[in-house]
Amino acid sequence: MTVRTRFAPSPTGMLHVGNARAALFCFLFAKGQGGDFILRMDDTDKARSTEEFAEAIKADLAWLGMDYDETFKQSDRFDKYEAAFDDLKARGLVYACYETPDELERKRKRQLARGKPPVYDRAALELTDEQIAAHEAEGRNPHYRFKLSGNAIVWNDMVRGEQKIETASLSDPVIRRADGTWLYTLPSVVDDIDANISHVIRGEDHVTNSGAQIEIIEALGGKVPVFAHFSLMLAADGGALSKRFGSLSLRDIRESGVEAMSLNSLIARLGTADPVEPVQDMATLIKGFDMTRLGRAPARFDAEDVTRLNARILHDMPYEAAAPRLAAMGAPEGAAFWDGVKGNLKLFDDVGDILRLIEGPVSPVIEADDVDYVATALDALPQGDLTEQSWSEWTQNLKESTGRKGRALFMPLRQALTGQAHGPEMQHLLPLIGYDKAVARLQGKEG
């Protein structure tokens, strides 16, 4: 069996972290099994679905590194849903209901008041031809429900183990609204059958829905896929996700400068007992992903973890991976620059700040107590081309000639050369600044 999973967003808004987690689980599992990852656009809501959102979803997946093998949209498949609907209706498995939303709500309240579960009573099946005609004369259009068997539906869930849904305790699901539009259930089932989806991986809020969907799949002659319902995601404190990262769109997160793999590394391990570690590439993440490691407890998402992982990924990033981006920023060629600065980066864009330290202009900072010392340092600066050894040779000579050591030895030089008290190691920066700029800055001139 070829493993085939699908990610099925609605193009009615931007993707957020919760969506990314669902997509990532589908992608990692499929690729780990040598299978296919399908992107399905659930755009049956014609009023809210837009091509702009669909393109934004594709851009987000591309940024995250999730290449899909196939893609299609539901709006191109209405004839398929119509055919399945007609088939089920002809066999008495779909029936028309004429209650208004207000009438259904009153029924639910009466059932609850009597201590009964608010399950639809199938009153529509008892309507006479005269009653139906009267409803239609009033201008009522029916909505349609799928008639559940009342049997227990059992499956072995990859995350939750054996699951059992008593369909007798459920309302027959509405599959088509009174205005003729489709709800999620029937189109999704038809698409999964036609696309040969082998594994449906989604949040645990769909567990109950799976009972009804399995019955519809079997009624249409399809093969029931393997289900995996993972836990939902909460903020670190157990509450709703904050706007810091959790409910921000992926586009917002991308534009903040975060590396895609820092987000992937975190959400791939959320909900497992495995430690969260920075992973440099998707191939490594695929190799280490195990669906059975997901637990049933809610996953806790902390935006600070993304920030920490981002720095660690940059600190470990090999020059070969960074080189194209460095070249685009005008950074010096060769691994020496990258190896010298990456340990100070929180975001890749911080490279630009370091380049400005090198290229200038920089306003030197020379404290009054250090004026004579900096002048001495200028005289002792090695002449000609500066190398990575120049800093240690220079400071060692100054230590011996002035008696200074530690912070008193290094900090005045850093502040004069960069205008800052912190930054990359000076042994790496000094040869990049170069002799002429170093002289000017030690003289207190902008350069």
The rounded distance, in Å, linking the Cα atoms of 11 and 438 is: 55
Residue 164, SS3 per DSSP: strand
235 half-sphere exposure, CB direction, 13 A CA radius: 11
Supply the CATH classification number for the domain 368-442. Answer: 1.10.10.350
Average pLDDT, the chain: 94
The answer to whether residues 211 and 237 touch, using CB atoms and an 8 Å cutoff, is: no
- What does DSSP say about strands 226-230 and 233-235: parallel, antiparallel, or unpaired? unpaired
What was the pLDDT predicted at 242? 54
Of 185, 193, 191, residue with least CA distance to 212: 185
pLDDT at 239 over 90: no
The rounded distance, in Å, linking the Cα atoms of 26 and 430 is: 48
Regarding the domain with residue range 89-176, which homologous superfamily does it belong to in the CATH classification?
A: Glutamyl-tRNA Synthetase; Domain 3 (3.90.800.10)
The rounded distance, in Å, linking the Cα atoms of 371 and 400 is: 18
**DSSP assignments along 54-80, one per residue:** HHHHHHHHHHHT---SEEEEGGG-HHH
Q: What are 216's two structure tokens? A: 């519809």
The rounded distance, in Å, linking the Cα atoms of 138 and 37 is: 48
Identity at 352, one-letter amino acid code: G
pLDDT at 137 over 70: yes
CATH class of 1-76+231-316: alpha beta
Task: Establish whether the linkage from the previous residue to 101 is cis, with ω within 30° of 0.
Answer: no
What was the pLDDT predicted at 263? 96
Task: List the domain boundaries for the chain.
Answer: 1-76+231-316, 89-176, 319-359, 368-442
Share of the chain above pLDDT 70, in %: 98
Beta bridge partners, 72, equal: 40
pLDDT at 1 over 90: no
pLDDT at 353 over 70: yes
- The contacts of residue 78 (CB under 8 Å, 6+ apart) are 182
Residue 71, SS3 per DSSP: strand
Task: Establish whether the linkage from the previous residue to 332 is cis, with ω within 30° of 0.
Answer: no
Q: What are 183's two structure tokens? A: 């709800």
